[in-house]
Structure 1
């Protein structure tokens, strides 16, 4: 027996450090209160502490860490957006993702797969060429490929889609990746806590206090807290927070559903998206098919899944992968997508001094986790919008300076 194994056998598991420190009582004051213990909120707390030395931070989560949209998405990472503003923002996020496991000292299971956005018509092919040129202009690896290239990369797919709208080609985005969402929340939470940030679960914010047009604190289910800044990072719960301040936004909430099959032998090592069929699919490291569709058609604050969703999704998945009809679904779920009119987020400062908003993520918030946390932390520290998020300011709707990302974000992924 090696000395290493002998030493391990004699080590008591009680001596191992806790993954998270024990939760402390709420303090009476913090420099920054972050509402929302999902990926964005935890990332913001981490970068506040790491890059700006602001450690008197409380993350308040009404449920459990990562229990909202962070744990309900389908983990796709990409930067092949349509506008210059979107491409630059998400490309910066991809660069952070690529080194994040080492930065947080946790295996995030980040896996680069390549991302095909299928085109089923000549019009769709023109849009793909447009997106490819915008991407290349900003140094993002994207190109238009034909049917033969797709057939070589995904030989199990029926490119005629069961007699429906056949595939003409695709936008191929080589950096497209998947990552383990739970590990992202845990990694950011642990790294933030190690730097002095306090994380309080089962702590709901019930009101936000102001005086003279500026934030002074928050009321919670565990008592009141005074603070110098409040950052709302709650995705589908955003209207409930902004209503506390009578702050109007154009955000509407739609359910977004997804599901997974039983695990099978790996056959799909890329990510497939079809805007025409309103489906996307990838295969997890455990062999499950992870599948989703567009947002539900009606505004609804709900995380209830429906039979109509899975019936329609299965119909289109079988068109592309006929043998998938034999697979059994293991589970399905829903999140709440906070949609804006131009399909781009709302980030940064607001008319209420000391109140910062990170919202409007719709179906694309998870992939923005690192860069959202980093730029929002910089915004809070400097008390002005970071240059990457200035185009996403709340005031753009009053100024009619919309970003216009619908062409690259119209499918829920």
Structure 2
């Protein structure tokens, strides 16, 4: 047995770090208790919490490329919980509370920086919608404030709050506990802890089929052979609909490219995260100093990881509406991820019509901020066969019952 195949570990154990490697790179075994398809943040977090909270360690995490090389490596790392509906507030606030202690839990740095998030209002309707969300957040015990333009300028002096601006700032919502984290540190932290529990993290292993007998999943077929499994959990973001179709499921999802960009390194000048639905952009400053900017999804469906130039052009123009001070900043690089979007802009987490096949998808542009929270809840669902209270509202059957959780307003900008 490998020294870090710690099958005897129990939830809450303090496990040693591997001494001279990030994690093992094992070959797949013939069978596992649980196979998780998708080695990004959600898959790794789910594996970790299955071991930590439920004592299940016979787990393989399958990743078709390199670990955390998909959307986890391509997001803009913003963390917040100020969504509108009670159901969304529940799971995102659960995640935020886990973010606040995640470094201590994993024993690894994740660079969670609590710098707050401003959502700007530019029209009277923006004000009404924003104040409604503040009141909803406060009723759910979530920190949320309404700020007047002068207060916005105090928190972020470089925002253009001139009344003569093309899109004048009439106020903003503010969540002080929101912030950013270092996405690759998060993935590495979950991966190292999962590996220490003896969980197999298997890279370059693409799933090509799902085996089902008598309405029950029995395993998966991969480019590295067939793997039997007691339970199979999908966590593959933009490719979830492709995987589900292998099991005969047609999901209410559309996949789109989602672009972002960073500037050259700058001195610390931007103290918070600023978002605007009206000009459709958000801007933060990363730990190293580059500006991180994002906008909405590309309108076309696709699985590509290169977006269209006209989106970037509008993105930078929008950023300069809010931050004229950045007019001479240079663009360093751009990229795109592939996001899966549901009709109500809320995720799908839970059981499927196929016994022991579980689904975690449809996070659209909000997957990163939910990482520890959905990992915790998805692990509970897999371990017990029943949804956790926080993900119970996000079942697949809500699209037939009509119990939708419409978060288009709170998730209109890709963050």
Structure 1 unaligned blocks of 5 or more: 1-15
> How much does 1:282 deviate?
0.3
Match of 2:71 among 69, 73, 81: 69
Using the alignment, how far apart are the partners of 1:407 and 1:36 within structure 2? Answer: 29
Q: Deviations over 1:77-115 (max 9, x none)?
A: 000000000011100000000000111111111100110
> How much does 1:20 deviate?
3.0
> How much does 1:19 deviate?
3.4
Match of 1:327 among 306, 329, 333: 329
> Superposition pairs for residues 24-63 of structure 1, below 5 Å?
24-63=26-65
> Superposition pairs for residues 144-163 of structure 1, below 5 Å?
144-160=146-162, 163=165
* Map of 2:314 onto structure 1: 312
> Is 1:222 matched up with 2:224?
yes
> Is 1:352 matched up with 2:361?
no
> How much does 1:285 deviate?
1.3
Partners of 1:30 and 1:227 within 8 A in 2: yes
Matched residue count: 398
Partners of 1:162 and 1:320 within 8 A in 2: no
Deviates more, 1:323-332 or 1:159-168: 159-168
Match of 1:252 among 232, 254, 257: 254
The runs of 4+ residues in structure 1 deviating greater than 6 Å are: none
CA RMSD of aligned residues (A): 1.1
> Superposition pairs for residues 266-305 of structure 1, below 5 Å?
266-305=268-307
Using the alignment, how far apart are the partners of 1:127 and 1:354 within structure 2? Answer: 41
Using the alignment, how far apart are the partners of 1:179 and 1:237 within structure 2? Answer: 25
Using the alignment, how far apart are the partners of 1:255 and 1:21 within structure 2? Answer: 30
Q: Deviations over 1:300-337 (max 9, x none)?
A: 22111332122111111111111212111110000011
> How much does 1:191 deviate?
0.1
* Map of 2:413 onto structure 1: 411
Residue 406 of structure 1 aligns to a residue whose secondary structure is coil
* Map of 1:6 onto structure 2: none
Q: Deviations over 1:208-255 (max 9, x none)?
A: 000000100100101001111100000001111011012011100111
* Map of 1:402 onto structure 2: 404
Partners of 1:208 and 1:218 within 8 A in 2: yes
Residue 265 of structure 2 aligns to a residue whose secondary structure is coil
* Map of 1:372 onto structure 2: 374
Deviates more, 1:300-309 or 1:169-178: 300-309
* Map of 2:390 onto structure 1: 388
Deviates more, 1:243-252 or 1:296-305: 296-305
> Superposition pairs for residues 5-154 of structure 1, below 5 Å?
17-154=19-156
Partners of 2:117 and 2:178 within 8 A in 1: yes
* Map of 2:263 onto structure 1: 261
> How much does 1:288 deviate?
0.6
Partners of 1:117 and 1:274 within 8 A in 2: yes
> Quick one: structure 1 residues 175 and 382, their matched pair in 2 at CA, closer, same or farther if it must change by over 3 Å?
same
> How much does 1:22 deviate?
3.0
Match of 1:169 among 151, 168, 171: 171
State the TM-score, normalizing by the size of structure 1: 0.95
* Map of 1:12 onto structure 2: none
> How much does 1:262 deviate?
0.3
Partners of 1:161 and 1:320 within 8 A in 2: no
> How much does 1:153 deviate?
1.4
Residue 166 of structure 1 aligns to a residue whose secondary structure is coil
Partners of 1:342 and 1:405 within 8 A in 2: yes
Partners of 2:24 and 2:201 within 8 A in 1: no
> Quick one: structure 1 residues 68 and 386, their matched pair in 2 at CA, closer, same or farther if it must change by over 3 Å?
same
* Map of 1:13 onto structure 2: none
Structure 2 unaligned blocks of 5 or more: 1-17
More helix by percentage: 1
